Amino acid sequence: MLSPAPGDPPVTDESFEKPILELEQKIEELAGLGNPALESEIASLREKLDAVRREVYSQLDPWQKTQVARHPRRPYTLDFVGGLLEDWIELHGDRRFSDDHAIVAGMGRFRGRPVAVVGHQKGRATREKIQRNFGMPRPEGYRKALRVMQMAEKFGRPILTFIDTPGAYPGIDAEERGQAEAIAFNLREMARLRVPVICTVTGEGGSGGALAIGVGNRVNMLEYSVYSVISPEGCASILWRDAAKAPEMAQALRLTAPDLKDLDVIDEIIPEPAGAAHSDPQGTIDAVGQVLERQLGELATLSADELLEDRYQRFRRIGKFTELHA
Amino acid sequence: MAWFRKDKKPKVQPEERTSQIPEGLWIKCDGCREIIYRKEVVRRNWICPKCGFHFSIGARQRLESLLDDGAYDEFGQHLAATDPLKFKDKKAYRDRLVDYRAKTGMNDAVITASGTIEGIPVVAAVMEYEFMGGSMGSVVGEKITRAAELALAERRPLFVISTSGGARMQEGALSLMQMAKISAALARLHEARIPFLSILADPTTGGVTASYAMLGDVIIAEPGALIGFAGPRVIEQTIRQKLPEGFQRSEFLLEHGMLDLVVPRGEMRDTVARVLRLLWIPAAEVPAAGLASTSLA
């Protein structure tokens, strides 16, 4: 799990946003006066706001980026769907047990091309958070995802996935119905899909629960998203038995987009607008759309066998080791 | 029970030592808490003669007890972890690696080898829990992938014995990605119709369960092994209640349809050989047109 369990006290520090919030508030106040004489002052304040945003966001440490990746105003899968797809039809259920609301899946038209979309879905208001189980899927969510991906393969449609989860749900029911098997099976079967697969980490890439829809020909990360084998909190509690060490572990885990680009885990970083995705969701959605369109174009030239080989080699290369002769 | 108290060193030299097994003439079973005669336990391949509890054993011991004449050709033994993240918690990962190498005489947490079981050629990957909790990092990922690729190239069945806490935190997302890498190699074995047997020992959790351990054509567990995705502690923290007795044990998973068989250690070799004989199509018997004439669902 990438986030603390629901109910755990949040270990957050968003104080880095303070200068931005103060400026925003000031601009709002001035604009609210409706005085035309203030227009130029407001304009200069907006410029300043932009500069401060860039400044603050260029200096975030990994722990702060983790907070940004979890920001509730970041675009979620259905926001990307709304901004990028036409003719969207959401498809439901795994045909075995139930419909998991922590994962959405469906078909639509992206820039004229029919595609399948699969992604984690978090909620914003409390009721929706609970309905979406905080974006933590159960086995049926992963099975629904695979069902729709295999249907897309059957009809030759490319697959776009959006990754944003604290992790797969760690509960009794999830274990009983084979959480591990559901994830494992997706890993194997995604490697066999004979259509282009593009995965984008948009927020939290929480361990196996993220990877279960993350086996693609291209794996992208939004600039302030994170992707990790374990949450900084989880790592801190295992290695230090102290959640307060989370910021330190966020650093140690190398979970930011630039880190993972360096480690050859991801292919491309998609830049976010100034002040990150939550201050300009539409700009973020557009930026993602541009990258996906280009990558789909590149992959469209590959045959099914070439797509499989490309995906195999993409993951085959990952790992760092040496030879040690005693 | 003063009679059992050990004042002097035992006269009998303990046989080859497995590190987590207590030394001495008598040992206490972790299952039934009975005091049992050590020699008797050793003779039964580290199974309690009173309650059938399976003591944890090392990877080499497992290989030797499964393969014909206890013989195998190891490969990949020189592969060793680097420290790509420069990871440090209470102790630097680099130093931990040095310690575990010294402690186990291995470079990382899995042995990969080829050999035969009742004459059937196999490729084996056996995890070693004593090396950093059997955790899977780049080296484990690479070695098991190579094992799968060798099995594919030579059309030998593959079996993996897992005992692992999951992905190795100290290699971050690189460890996570090994799950996808190994699973992709297993996809190729699947398409080539080469049997893959997954054997689970206590404990098998996290990213190991959520990848190759659950992908066996046939999945077999030792009795009483803890097997799951999330560890019991994480689940208890999430749901804030105690877990029921026997939850996530082999027998529980069998009941819930997640395993094919629960097999005591003493019957493992025989069971593996029987399963393989029923599944395996030797290279010589593969029709010239290949096996792919009917598509795999």
What confidence tens digit (pLDDT) does each residue in A111-136 have?
999 999 999 999 999 999 999 999 99
Residue type for position A287: A
pLDDT of residue B296: 62
pLDDT of residue A187: 98
Decide if pLDDT at B47 tops 50: yes
Please indicate whether, in this complex, the C-beta atoms of B229 and A235 are within 8 angstroms of each other: no
Closest Cα in chain B, distance from residue A11 (Å): 16
Rounded Cα distance, A160 and A293, in Å: 11
Q: What average pLDDT score do residues B95-119 get? A: 97
Where helices occur in chain A by DSSP H, the ranges are 18-33, 39-58, 62-69, 77-84, 126-131, 139-154, 172-176, 179-190, 207-211, 232-239, 246-252, 257-262, 281-300, 304-316
pLDDT of residue B7: 57
- In angstroms, how far is CA A85 from the centroid of its own chain? 18
Highest mean pLDDT among A13-27, A50-64, A168-182, B36-50: A168-182
| Residue A109 pLDDT grade (very low, low, confident, very high; cuts 50, 70, 90) | very high
Please indicate whether, in this complex, the C-beta atoms of B177 and A318 are within 8 angstroms of each other: yes
Residue A137 in contact with residue A209, Cβ under 8 Å?
yes
pLDDT of residue B295: 57
Q: Which residue, among B131, B171, B229, would best test binding to A if mutated, counting the most A CBs under 10 Å from its CB?
A: B229
Decide if pLDDT at B16 tops 60: no
Residue A119 in contact with residue A142, Cβ under 8 Å?
no
Q: Which chain A residues contact residue B184 at CB under 8 A?
A: 187-188, 191, 215, 311-312, 315-316
pLDDT of residue B8: 56
pLDDT of residue A217: 98
Could you say which architecture CATH assigns to the domain A66-316?
Answer: Alpha-Beta Complex (3.90)
Please indicate whether, in this complex, the C-beta atoms of B172 and A6 are within 8 angstroms of each other: no
Could you tell me which residue, A8 or B131, shows the higher pLDDT? B131
> For residue A178, which of B253, B186, B165 has the smallest C-alpha distance?
B253
Residues whose CB falls within 8 Å of the CB of residue B216, separated by 6 or more in sequence, listed in order: B160, B196, B197, B198, B199, B260
Rounded Cα distance, B36 and A161, in Å: 56
What confidence tens digit (pLDDT) does each residue in B174-199 have?
999 999 999 999 999 999 999 999 99
Decide if pLDDT at A3 tops 90: no
- Percent of chain B having pLDDT more than 90? 75
Interface confidence: ipTM more than 0.90: yes
Decide if pLDDT at A74 tops 60: yes
pLDDT of residue B230: 94
Burial of A36 (0-12, 13-18, 19+ CB in 10 A): exposed
What confidence tens digit (pLDDT) does each residue in A140-152 have?
999 999 999 999 9
Facing B141 at nearest CB: one of A263, A319, A324? A319
Q: What average pLDDT score do residues B39-45 get? A: 89
Decide if pLDDT at B290 tops 80: no
Please indicate whether, in this complex, the C-beta atoms of A254 and B228 are within 8 angstroms of each other: no
pLDDT of residue B1: 46
State the virtual CA torsion across A269, A274, A276, A281 in degrees, nearest 10: -100
Rounded Cα distance, A60 and B263, in Å: 53
pLDDT of residue B21: 58
pLDDT of residue A281: 96
> For residue A65, which of A288, A254, A280, A234 has the smallest C-alpha distance?
A254
What is the three-class DSSP state of A5?
A: coil
What confidence tens digit (pLDDT) does each residue in B212-223 have?
999 999 999 999
Decide if pLDDT at A256 tops 60: yes
Taking the Cβ of residue B116 and every Cβ of chain A, the question of whether any pair is shorter than 8 Å is answered with: no
Residues 6-65 of B with CB under 8 A from A: none
- Percent of chain A having pLDDT more than 70? 96
Could you tell me which residue, B241 or A278, shows the higher pLDDT? A278
> For residue B150, which of B123, B116, B127, B125 has the smallest C-alpha distance?
B123
Q: Which of these ranges, A44-53, A248-257, A263-272, B87-96, has the smallest mean pLDDT?
A: A44-53
Residue with tokens 């990605």: B177
pLDDT of residue B116: 98
